[in-house]
Amino acid sequence: MIRRHFHDLPVEARQAIADKAGLVRAARTADGGLNSGIAAFLDTDHGPVFVKGIPTDHPQAPAQRREAAISPYLPRACPRLYWHIETAGWDLLGYEVLQGRHADYSPGSPDLPLVAAALAELQETTAPTDVPIKDAEQRWAAYAPPGTAAFFSGDTLLHTDLAPHNVLVDDRAHIIDWAWPTRGAAWIDPAILILQLLEAGHTPVEADAFARRFPSWRTAPAEATKAFAAANAAAWQEIARAHAAPWKAAIASHANAFHAHLHSSPGTR
C-alpha cells in the first residue's frame, strides 16, 4: 500500500482529526508497516497522538474497522484507542503514543519476559460476542486435517499475528495492530508466537519450551496442537505460494519445521 504523509490527507480529514486531537503542530510519518495508507505521529494541542488510516474503499478497510471495534475489549497490554472517524473517503484511528521500540525475540533477549507477560495478560481476555470476528475453527478449517478443526474452538480473544513489529517495548511490552482478532482456544497464540521465535533464531525445542510458560499451551491436548501445527503449516504454504516474499517463505519453512518437531515426539511437546 502506498504510504502517504499526514499533509497529503484531504483538508476535511485533517480538520476532523484536529477537531478530535487539537491543533496539529507537527507530524512525522512512521517508519515501517505496510498495511496503512497513513501512519503518523502528531504533536497536537491536546498532546501526542498516533494516527493510522486507510481509504474507506480499500479492501483492507474492513480489517481496520474491526480493529477499532475490538479496541474497548483489549487489556492494558494494548494501546488505548482515543477515537475512530470516517470522513472525506478515509477511515482514521487515533491512538495513544507509546514511546517504545519493536520487540527483540532473539535467544536471551531481555524483551522475552516482557513479551510473555503481555501475552499472559491477553490470555485471560474473553473474546466479545458483539464484535464480528472469526472463530479459529472457521479460520483454519480449510487447512486442518479432517475432523480436527473443532480442537481450535474456544472463547479467548486471540491476536494471531505476534510478529516483533506488532509488539512495542518500553518498560513493558504492548501488543499492537489488531487486524486479525480471532475467537478460539487460548493456546493458539502461543503456537503462533513459536513461529516468530524460530524466525528470531530459537530452535524448535527452545521455542516450544518458551511457549510452555503459558498454561494454555502446557495443558493443551497433543492431538490439538499437532492438528493446528499441520493447519498452520498448510496455510503458510498457501500464503508463500500466492505472494512471493522472502519473509513469507521463511515463516512457511518454520511452520513446517515445527509441525515436524511435534510429530517427531509422540505424546510430548
Cell of 259: 509441525
Which amino acid type is present at position 68?
A
The conformation of residue 210, written as its DSSP 8-state character, comes to H
Tell whether the model's pLDDT for residue 85 goes beyond 90: yes
pLDDT at 264: 85
Cell numbers 510478529 label which residue?
A: 163
Residues 101 and 229: their CA atoms lie apart, in Å, by 30
Read off the DSSP letter of residue 159. Answer: -
- What confidence tens digit (pLDDT) does each residue in 119-163 have? 999 999 999 999 999 999 999 999 999 999 999 999 999 999 999
Q: How far apart are CA 46 and CA 48, in angstroms?
A: 7
Which DSSP state fits 141? T
Task: Characterize the bridge pairing of strands 134-135 and 182-184.
Answer: parallel
pLDDT at 159: 97
pLDDT at 32: 61
Check: pTM over 0.85? Answer yes or no.
yes
Nearest to 164 by CA among 221, 104, 222: 104
The yes-or-no verdict on residue 1 having pLDDT over 80 is no
pLDDT at 266: 56
For 218, the grid coordinates are: 502446557
